[in-house]
Structure 1
Amino acid sequence: MNLFSLEDKKTNVRTEVVAGLTTFMTMVYIVVVNPAILQQAGMDFGAVFVATILATVIATLIMGLFANYPIAIAPGMGLNAYFAYSVVGQSGIRWEVALGAVLVAGVLFVLLSVTSFREQLIKAIPDSLKYGITAGIGLFIAFIGLKSAGIIVGDEVNLVGLGDFHAPMTILSLVGLFLTLVLFTFRIPGSLFIGMALTALIGGMSGLFVSPTTWVTAPPSLMPTLGAAVISLPEVFSQGLYAVIFAFLLVTLFDTTGTMIGVAEQAGLMGKDGSFPRMRSALLADSIGMTAGALMGTSPTSAYIESSTGVASGGRTGLTSVVVSLLFLCMLFFAPVVEAVAGVPAITAPALIIVGCFMMGGLARVEWGRFDEAFPAFIVMISMPLTFSIATGIAFGFITYPLLKIIQGRFREVHPLLYLFMVLFLLQLIFLPE
């Protein structure tokens, strides 16, 4: 095990295996939620299920073997909802073309990962916009969770209204949400996964969930989605999906970077000068996973903050990530039960709502006392769920931030790249609206 430098990191094989199992338990819900969301874009559930697992395995293995960090990577929450409900659902773009946009963003991410431009891009984006974007995505997926649960419904007068709390599926959603919140309150590892399992059990007893006759089978075929992104590349550019590509790239880049640094700090793996050792290898793991995932048929990957649970259990090396990868690989044979669970909105909706809550934490770091910092974060956050578009929310933030700085005479505080983005987003909103 010299590959992982276990002795140098003051850990051992048993500790790393337990850490890997812990991380797996806290994020395995993604094999249910991701295919369930992308299926609503018209994609084949089985193919997305396999693509989700394989993208996770590839990216997390690279992270473990080459970057030697206890960080897991999988298709990210938020961007999968943006892919399905905004890019495909609202804009009417075919899912094949949306995958093509993910592929372009993945290739750009790979190129950024091997150059110093990635650092310039990360530094160019002010913290208030980063936190606002993350919070906006949280509101976006929480809104989707509430809607799919039937807790809120469409209303002709007020756009949204309260759902029917007598509807069986809504009742089951509320019960599942309450049970999962109780699990989180007592800090039970794998609360999301356990909550989904308990909700499925209750749904089975009430007749809302039908257990599959077969739990273990050979993995579904990947053919319905394999290579669709490549075939659709010409349409990505002919339809001018540059804002969509930028949204996929930008959110993945700084979300992954922020998560990796946070987990590395928790594990005591940051350099003495505050640097992030082997950043290139770590970002390559995610960018390769994102590119491979697009080729196979899933939305962008991202580093998972759930990795912190493995670190809390003692994980300090890439062996933790390797264990996570192997456990995910085993999930390939449980497609029938995963598809049955994903077919009941009440089982997956609580996970969307709670993950959305977790993504709001960064708002505490926004300088609300400074209007030129606060308003861009606010307009990003509020516009994402209301326009049903992450890209539009990002555009509003990147336009208002430089403008407010110019008005206040603080234009020198703005990185030149931000002025370029402001102009590009203005042109996009005027001439190429979604």
Structure 2
Amino acid sequence: MPMGDQDKPWAPHVICGSCRSTLEGWLRGTGRAMPFAIPRIWREPKNHHDDCYFCMIDVTKYRKVKGRQALQYPDIPSSRAPVPHDDSLPVPQPPENMEDAMEISSEGSAGSSSHEMGDEDFAPRTTSEPHFPSQSELDDLIRDLGLTKSGAELLTSRMKEWNLLEDCRISVYRKRHEEFKIYYDFSDMCYCKDVTGLFTALGLEHDPVEWRLFIDSSTRSLKAVLLHNGNKNPSLPLAHSVQKKENYHNVKQLLEKINYAEFRWDVCGDFKMLAFLLGLQGGYTKYSCFLCLWDSKADDDHYNKVHCPPRVELQPGMLNVLRQPLVDSKKVLLPPLHIKLGLIKQFVKALDFGGETFQEICLMFPKLSEAKLKGGIFVGPQVNKMLKSEKLERAMTKVEREAWCSFRDLLTRKQMKYEYLTNLSELQEVD
């Protein structure tokens, strides 16, 4: 069978050792054949909810001996299950020599039918004449390559120069944004002035409950994006500015321009952004939490007091509330990654820098600077590596191991890696 789509990230690029040894034994005539007539056929997944092989199956439970038969492999459009041998698909005989095998392989690559490949949409070419792509085929190629407007123009102009295009235009990519330009306005920031019209133009149904608003900024830009809760639909940019800095007044202006009061999406962002949205005072304040009245300066109660009184309202001028909140506190979603990074930061900063646990962390990440290691500044993959390390856990003291196991159990119990905590009571429990 020919191999294709090796330039795509969703296509498999390796073969398992068991399949390789079985194929080599069958080729030599000393081993058994593969248990299937048609292997698993891979296609590009449409979403990560019900059409993604790696999101639907938990491969972490796989073991070589125990639990192997309990692992269920899905049969979905993006990953069709193998077809076993039967009377119509018998076990093939191995070739007598490698030259015959190479000839069979080349013939299969050149003229495999759609039924042999298990793909009904596959239509092999029966002629060696050059193919001149149409405008739609060129658009699909540019989309698969992920080219920008300038890159698409360069590719089209070069193919036009080589006489590989007939009825395709180069200038069509210069105005590909014109269809959606009418839904945006450009002043001191670029923002969507007609969210409903944008959804209609994209052919999507706009239910504010199914979308969440993500607001973030850097030293150079302030941006707002709509994210689908099930990740079935692509993200939609609503606002962007390279002139606005991250502060209360600019965030308020952004929400007014995109008409947040009409749709009232759930809002997510980092802790600094949530402080702006809820009008809290920045810096090391006494009552920095919007869920409860946790006293950040009462150091003696931090590890003794379990429950803190809930914050009933956000009234400006009281309990570190500086301004009027821009969104309802029940509409705020705490990003699980930020919670995880905050907890690991507090854990590392409480370690003895000369102890065995901290030295083991330094050995795990030799390229990190000493300042980041002592400050507990890690990213998500680094935290996952620490959670999976048994050597790190063996180096901990009894107290450190108890805190580490509590941290790991919290991530597992709340499934903070995959879901947002939307229930206010759960947020107060975590806090």
* TM-score band w.r.t. shorter chain: under 0.3
More strand by share: 2
Highest Rg: 1 or 2?
2
The TM-score, its normalising length taken from structure 1, stands at 0.20
More helix by share: 1
The TM-score, its normalising length taken from structure 2, stands at 0.20
> Comparing both chains, which one has the higher relative contact order based on Cα–Cα distances under 8 Å and sequence gaps of 6 or more?
1
